[in-house]
Amino acid sequence: MFLGVDTGGTFTDFVLFDGQSIQVHKVLSTPDSPDRAILQGIQELGLTSLIKEGKIILVHGSTVATNAALEGKGVRTAYITNHGFKDTLSIGRQTRKELYNLTPSEQAPPVSKALCLETGGRLDANGEVFDPLTEADVEEIKAQLKTLNPEAVAINFLFSFLDDRHEKALEEAIKDDYYVSRSSYVLPEYREYERGMATWLNAWLGPLVSNYLTQLSDNVAPTPLSIMQSSGGTIDASQAANRAVNLLLSGPAGGLAAVRALAKDINEERLLTFDMGGTSTDVAVIDGDIRLTNDGHIGDYPVAVPMVDMHTIGAGGGSIAYIDQGGLLQVGPESAGAFPGPACYDRGGEQPTVTDANTVLGRLRPEAFLGKQMTLDLEKARQAVSTLAEPLGLTVEQAALGILTIANEHMTRALRNIAVKRGEDPRAFRLTCFGGAGGLHVCDIAESLNIKSALVPRLGGVLSAYGMLVAPHERQLSKTVNQDSSSLNWDKLTETIDILAEQGKSQLLSEGVQQNQLEQHISADLRYQGQSFTINLPIGPKESIIERFHQAHQARFGHSMEMNVELVTLRVRVFAFTHSISMPLLTSAEEGTKSTPKTPAPDGLVDLYQLSDKVPRYQRDTLAAGCIISGPALISEQVSTTLIKPGWTATVSKHGHLLLEQH
């Protein structure tokens, strides 16, 4: 049996696969101690005894690293580099948030000067020793650390990606007393600032992640525990403790892993996705596979490790609506979270949220919310929204519609940006929504983007948790080599690739992966001489990869140049799909309308604002493959609700996905 768990800002989602069928569950998250909600869900699913017997494989998407980074709550961390470079993280790239603000507010550096230490062990650009690391240097660093008393230490020496002996020597000398993170392990690539930030983040967050995973592992022992990485693959919890920086998009990556898998169900490759949960919305592009980036950010921090290429905005079901100083209605980014939550949850929340607006407009049904595990208080929702309606001179319904319109515009803008900035036309994709709140907004957003087709996946409300189960075990490894196309040393490149591949394979084998399950994908970052940005391409013969780079540059930027090409960084992805899990076909229990698949009988009629006639409401688990539902209609299920607007139809696929088309 397999259990996927995704911890979100509002809900913690569970998907259980027993080999034939899928069971889903949700509980409110417990941000102060995320494992408490996980253990509660396990108990409510009746899995406690199976967990204690080790009969379940548990895969988890954790927000511990993400939350700590966004809230600035990492541990006390010392940063050690070579002489003359202790200000590297403070100087950064000298970019400003507000380019034309002549009096910007002062920002504290990531690491205070007192915690930045310098020592020997510096190499030059050719990997030759420029300033040796002596025993006296090591003893001096140990004395300084004893005085500063940090909990973690980040080591970032110049050009250590060429030769990491000095970093390893210093790590060996202090690892018994501190949590140590060295750059040649975290990110053996050029650009000392980005490498240093990744190394510092890994050290700054590492003890928190390690403690959390140790506690969770102990609570579910002897059940094996794997953690979703930001790249869309999983890693054993024991190794994840040393890879905190690789977990910053752990939960959202699960959703994209699921979309990558279900794209095969509908035989489509180009999907524009938005994951709308309780706290935020994540948008991304799937074009055959998940797109990764090495230029990501978490808050103000650059994160150069491989992570899913997505953009996150503060627009979720719990996003709070308010009137700003100019008298305009605004939505987000602040969220009501799980506690107190939206006003309609009746848990003490009084501020109006997107969820309250959907409740007021009849789109969320109190009698069919969360499989009747929770009840919604319509009157509390109306009271909250009325605090905005009265100052704006609107009815409660008009104010609620305004809240949704603004939230939709935030998501539309994010989707348009992530597509257009990558040279893509949003209309060439099928809009795909998931997350508990996505289905209520998909038609509005598709219309705003002029997209005529959309997808509401089965289990969309818990899709990230499902993604934990279909994601492969994976390692992403890299090394900067900086070779010119005029003198590429393919023997040396092949040797480096083999070393990286062997590292990844040995790590996966240690997690129980079988040798015959291992696969690998090799790529390289290339650029014209003098450029600072690169294009990643699969590795091929020398002539082939250089020519493909010219073509890729032409396609992306509209021109190519007759210049030497540099092969900057080699990347090796080693992965293994150790079990086969797919979305089950609709079972006989779900074929209640099969006798008339084109015109299913509604479960009831409901009132929706702006529509004069009552709208049919269907239970999704009673819809058979082939059912066609014309809007307007409301489709309820245990973990989400979908609104089919007038002019749209929804066809149920053989896997239970809703394929939406506008006519």
CATH number of the domain where residue 201 is located? 3.40.50
Reported as a single tens digit per residue, the pLDDT across 508-549 is 999 889 999 999 999 999 999 989 889 999 987 777 889 999
Would you place residue 557 in the very low, low, confident or very high pLDDT band (cuts 50, 70, 90)?
confident
Q: Which residue matches tokens 């705003």?
A: 448
**Tokens standing for residue 503:** 């590292």
Name the residue range of residue 161's domain. 73-205
Burial 50-85 (b: 16+ CB within 10 A, else e): bbeeeebbbbbbbbbbbbbbeeeebbebbbbbbeeb
Would you place residue 587 in the very low, low, confident or very high pLDDT band (cuts 50, 70, 90)?
low
For 116, 133, 620, the CA distances from 603, given in Å and listed in that order, are 65, 74, 10
Q: Which of 177, 205, 233 lies at the terminal end of a domain, its last residue?
A: 205
Q: Decide if 41 is inside a domain.
A: no
Q: Which of 173, 205, 237 lies at the terminal end of a domain, its last residue?
A: 205
Report whether 538 contacts 522 (CB < 8 A): yes
Q: What is the CATH number of the domain that holds 489?
A: 3.30.1490
pTM confidence score: 0.88
Mean pLDDT of all residues in the chain? 90
SS3 28: strand
Would you place residue 572 in the very low, low, confident or very high pLDDT band (cuts 50, 70, 90)?
very high
The domain tally of the chain equals 2
Q: Decide if 523 is inside a domain.
A: yes
Q: Decide if 245 is inside a domain.
A: no
Rounded to whole angstroms, how far apart are CA atoms 529 and 121? 29
For 455, 604, 631, 649, the CA distances from 595, given in Å and listed in that order, are 25, 19, 21, 20
Rounded to whole angstroms, how far apart are CA atoms 394 and 480? 59
Q: Decide if 289 is inside a domain.
A: no
Q: Which residue matches tokens 């980040």?
A: 154
**Tokens standing for residue 254:** 């699960």
What is the number of alpha carbons within 13 Å of residue 523 lying toward its C-beta?
Answer: 16
Maximum alpha-carbon separation in the chain: 83
Q: Decide if 61 is inside a domain.
A: no
Report whether 477 contacts 500 (CB < 8 A): yes
Q: Which of 159, 174, 205 lies at the terminal end of a domain, its last residue?
A: 205
Rounded to whole angstroms, how far apart are CA atoms 511 and 507? 7
Q: Decide if 113 is inside a domain.
A: yes
Identify the residue with better confidence: 651 or 338: 651
pLDDT of residue 589: 37
Q: Decide if 153 is inside a domain.
A: yes
Q: Which residue matches tokens 């492969």?
A: 472
Would you place residue 598 in the very low, low, confident or very high pLDDT band (cuts 50, 70, 90)?
low
For 503, 568, 570, the CA distances from 478, given in Å and listed in that order, are 11, 11, 6
pLDDT of residue 436: 84
Q: Please state the rounded mean pLDDT for residues 58-64.
A: 90
- How many other C-beta atoms lie within 10 A of the C-beta of residue 36? 15
Q: Decide if 295 is inside a domain.
A: no
Q: Which residue matches tokens 């009629």?
A: 605
Rounded to whole angstroms, how far apart are CA atoms 359 and 357? 5
